[in-house]
């Protein structure tokens, strides 16, 4: 079952997206005529999510005003105006808003195709907090644009993940969506930190798993990637 609550990480400065972020947050940069954050919220709503916690920092008032236009989801704001908390710290700070049931956590710089139905819904299938703390959606390295890394994880036949570390490349890249037991951040201090720290701990415990996206991933992290994503969307590659 898809969780009712998701957290959308929208507080980043968008430095790599300049000059498009000179007058707006990265979340409001448009791709295919739609703001990045709306691409994500659309996917979450379609999967059955009812409530989204969104963290804000740069151009926070502008982003909050935009989010008030959504009527299909309840929106709660986690305010990071005073201090940017990074990915893990953002979830940790928002912890009182998230409840204790599993939640979905999404970045806002990913647009993806869904040729096999809701990828978020498929990610959530079989997730059991008693057996795993986090399950990450992974894109195949030959089915993406805008990501210039060498991959992030290896995935075994049971879906267990291990890090690439010093190896030259892996078949899978994290594409910005995961389902987690929110309790996995409870032991962390309320300070800025990357979610990778939590993943490494879970991997060491055998509690980090993955699932394939099963579609094409567009990592819209800079203006050139936005141009490429626009071209793909214009060609009609994005599923309804």
Domains and CATH numbers, the chain: 5-234 (3.90.550.10)
How are beta strands 110-112 and 103-107 bridged, if at all?
unpaired
Exposed e or buried b per residue across 125-158, where buried means at least 16 C-beta atoms within 10 angstroms of its C-beta: eebebeebbbbbbbbbbebbbbbeeebbbbbeee
Q: Please report the pLDDT score of residue 166 as a whole number.
A: 84
Give the per-residue pLDDT at 236: 78
pLDDT at 239 over 80: no
Q: Reduced to 3 states, what is the DSSP secondary structure of residue 178?
A: strand
- Average pLDDT rounded to a whole number, residues 190-205: 96
Q: Which among 185, 173, 33, 25 has a CA at the least distance from the CA of 100? A: 185
- In the predicted model, is pLDDT for residue 87 greater than 80? yes
Binned at pLDDT 50, 70 and 90, residue 22 comes out as very high
Which residues are bridge partners to 160 per DSSP?
209
- Would you call the peptide bond into 153 cis, given omega within 30 degrees of 0 as the criterion? no
- Mean pLDDT value across the chain: 95
Q: Mean pLDDT across the stretch 80-101?
A: 97
Residues 20 and 226: beta-carbon distance below 8 Å: yes
Is the whole-model pTM more than 0.85? yes
Across residues 40-59, what is the average pLDDT? 98
Mean pLDDT throughout 152-169? 93
């Amino acid at each position: 079952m898809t969780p009712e609550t998701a957290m959308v990480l929208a507080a980043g400065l968008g430095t790599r997206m300049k000059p498009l972020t000179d007058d707006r947050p990265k979340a409001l940069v448009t791709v295919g005529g739609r703001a990045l954050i709306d691409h994500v919220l659309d996917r979450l709503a379609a999967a059955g999510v009812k409530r989204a916690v969104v963290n804000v920092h740069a151009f926070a008032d502008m982003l909050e005003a935009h989010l008030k236009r959504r009527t299909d989801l309840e929106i709660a704001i986690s305010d990071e105006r005073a201090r940017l908390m990074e990915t893990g710290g953002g979830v940790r700070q928002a912890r009182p808003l998230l409840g204790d049931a599993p939640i979905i956590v999404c970045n806002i710089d990913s647009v993806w195709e869904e040729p096999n139905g809701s990828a978020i819904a498929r990610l959530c299938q079989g997730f059991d907090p008693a057996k795993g703390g986090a399950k990450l959606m992974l894109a195949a390295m030959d089915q993406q644009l805008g990501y210039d890394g060498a991959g992030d994880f290896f995935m075994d036949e049971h879906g267990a993940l291990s890090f690439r570390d010093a190896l030259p490349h892996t078949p899978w890249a994290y594409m910005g969506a995961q389902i987690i037991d929110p309790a996995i951040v409870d032991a962390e201090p309320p300070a800025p930190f990357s979610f990778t720290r939590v993943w490494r701990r879970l991997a060491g415990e055998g509690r980090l798993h993955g699932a394939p996206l099963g579609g094409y991933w567009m990592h819209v992290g800079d203006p050139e990637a936005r141009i490429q994503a626009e071209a793909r969307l214009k060609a009609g590659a994005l599923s309804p």
